[in-house]
């Protein structure tokens, strides 16, 4: 029963809250949809921490998509042996995981110890920061330490199969039963952050100003009155 709750009900509830929460927030709180920059209070630590976090998290996300989404048989068919994949995941994932962790440590220390940044922060900012730090720490720990302590365990044979079973709406909680505790904690806290996402500053992720790079320096707009006459 608890397996069903943790590995079927909980993940689906988190993802439902993630989707419905975003729709709700977008419809009711567009003016509050912001990253709430604190750059004008403290710049240096923010720049280093944020840069490290973002440089690390993008390859880590791509690693998750590959490791959780692509079955072993497919990578084998492409000529990538399980050992090669594992080495790539441990060294590549480990490296970018540590970069992400370093960024998160700087950002969290800054938020908790810089007096004015702390004053500007809401409870939600503090919780999101701490939870992200926990997720990243335990993910790196699972990847670099737990994997080495349990050489017989391969997350691609268990966690990844479970994850894909959720995606196709035929959940198989049993695949998670033998996963080490650190992986379990990482995944549960990972889903929890998805449920919190729409109600926090994390919504800024969906508002990256991609058109900014290509747009002209000065934007000329037709006066609404003249445009109306035409």
Question: Among all chains, which residue has been given the structure tokens 């039963």?
Answer: 177
**149-178 binders of ligand HEM (CB under 6 A):** 155, 159, 163
Task: Name residues whose C-beta falls within 8 Å of residue 24's C-beta, 6 or more positions apart in sequence.
Answer: 198
Q: Is 114 annotated as a binding residue?
A: no
Q: How far is the CB of 230 from ligand HEM (least distance, A)?
A: 50
Name the residue nearer to ligand HEM (CB basis): 41 or 192: 192
Q: Is 54 annotated as a binding residue?
A: yes
> x-or-dash pattern for ligand HEM, window 184-203, by CB under 6 A?
--xx--xx-x----------
Residue 72 tokens, joined: 């072993």
- What size, in residues, is the chain? 230
> Out of 106, 107, 132, 166, which residue is the one contacting ligand HEM (CB under 6 A)?
132
Name the residue nearer to ligand HEM (CB basis): 97 or 171: 97
The answer to whether the beta carbons of residues 49 and 106 sit under 8 Å apart is yes
Task: State yes or no: residue 60 binds ligand HEM (CB under 6 A).
Answer: yes
Question: Among all chains, which residue has been given the structure tokens 């960024």?
Answer: 103
Name the residue nearer to ligand HEM (CB basis): 107 or 142: 142
Q: Considering just the CA atoms, what is the radius of gyration of the chain in Å?
A: 21
List the one residue out of 212, 214, 149, 208 whose CA is nearest residue 183. Answer: 149
The answer to whether the beta carbons of residues 101 and 64 sit under 8 Å apart is no
Q: How far is the CB of 100 from ligand HEM (least distance, A)?
A: 5
Q: How far is the CB of 53 from ligand HEM (least distance, A)?
A: 9
CA distances from 180 to 68, 135, 155 (A): 16, 15, 10
CA–CA dist 103, 47 (Å, integer)? 10
Total residues in contact with ligand HEM, by rule CB under 6 A: 27
**82-121 binders of ligand HEM (CB under 6 A):** 89-90, 93, 97, 100
Report helix angle 181-196 to 123-141, nearest 10: 150
Q: Is 186 annotated as a binding residue?
A: yes
Q: Which residues are annotated as a binding site for heme b?
A: 54, 64, 186, 204
Binding residues for ligand HEM, rule: CB under 6 A, are 60, 63-64, 67-68, 89-90, 93, 97, 100, 132, 135-136, 139-140, 142-143, 147, 155, 159, 163, 183, 186-187, 190-191, 193
């Amino acid at each position: 029963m608890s397996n069903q709750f943790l590995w079927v009900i909980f993940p689906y509830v988190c993802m439902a809250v993630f989707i419905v929460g975003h729709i709700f927030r977008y419809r009711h709180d567009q003016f509050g949809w912001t990253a709430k920059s604190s750059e004008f209070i403290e710049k240096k630590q923010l720049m280093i921490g944020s840069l490290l976090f973002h440089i690390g998290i993008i390859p880590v996300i791509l690693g998750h998509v590959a490791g959780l989404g692509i079955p072993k048989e497919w990578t084998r068919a492409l000529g990538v042996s399980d050992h090669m994949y594992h080495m790539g995941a441990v060294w590549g994932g480990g490296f970018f995981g540590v970069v992400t962790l370093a960024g998160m440590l700087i950002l969290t220390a800054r938020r908790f110890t810089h007096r004015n940044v702390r004053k500007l922060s809401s409870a939600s900012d503090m919780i999101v920061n701490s939870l992200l730090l926990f997720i990243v720490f335990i993910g790196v720990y699972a990847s670099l330490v737990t994997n080495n302590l349990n050489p017989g365990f391969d997350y691609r044979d268990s966690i990844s199969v479970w994850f894909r079973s959720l995606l196709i709406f035929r959940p198989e909680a049993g695949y998670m039963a033998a996963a080490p505790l650190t992986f379990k904690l990482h995944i549960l806290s990972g889903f929890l952050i998805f449920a919190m996402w729409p109600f926090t500053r994390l919504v800024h992720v969906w508002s990256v100003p991609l058109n900014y790079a290509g747009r002209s320096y000065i934007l000329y707009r037709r006066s609404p009155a003249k445009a109306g006459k035409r």
